[in-house]
Amino acid sequence: MVHIDGASFGSITVDGKRYPHDVWIFADGSIRRRDRDHEFTLDELDLLLKGKPELVVVGTGQSGCVQVDKEAAELAVKQGVKMIDDITPNALEKYNEVVKAGRKVAGAFHVTC
């Protein structure tokens, strides 16, 4: 079970390991680098949906600068997957709550602006 310990401007700490960049956390718990970008795209959602999560959490940055692409939001609805986007500190809390409840979740987290 993955636990996000916290994030500060420019980094995120997951299970005690600090990542100095944005990350994707897949439903199987694996983590990959996410190129910093101010849009959460349809391609990103497709990538995260491969693990068949019940929920996708998008951390939109410390100030909420990341925009969720309209097509990505529409695809989530079509696939029956709930998607939550919020500033990264709030998104981390939601991610941890859902993981703790035993649900299958994936996420994309922007750690700057």
Q: In the chain, where are the structural domains located?
A: 4-110
pLDDT at 37 over 90: no
- Please give the Cα distance from 15 to 71 (Å, whole number): 32
Task: Write out the CATH class of domain 4-110.
Answer: alpha beta
Tokens of 2: 């993955």
Predicted TM-score (pTM) of this structure: 0.96
Sequence-separated (6 or more) residues with CB below 8 Å from residue 90:
none
- What is the tens place of the pLDDT at every residue in 55-99? 999 999 999 999 999 999 999 999 999 999 999 999 999 999 999
pLDDT at 36 over 90: no
Mean pLDDT of 4-26: 97
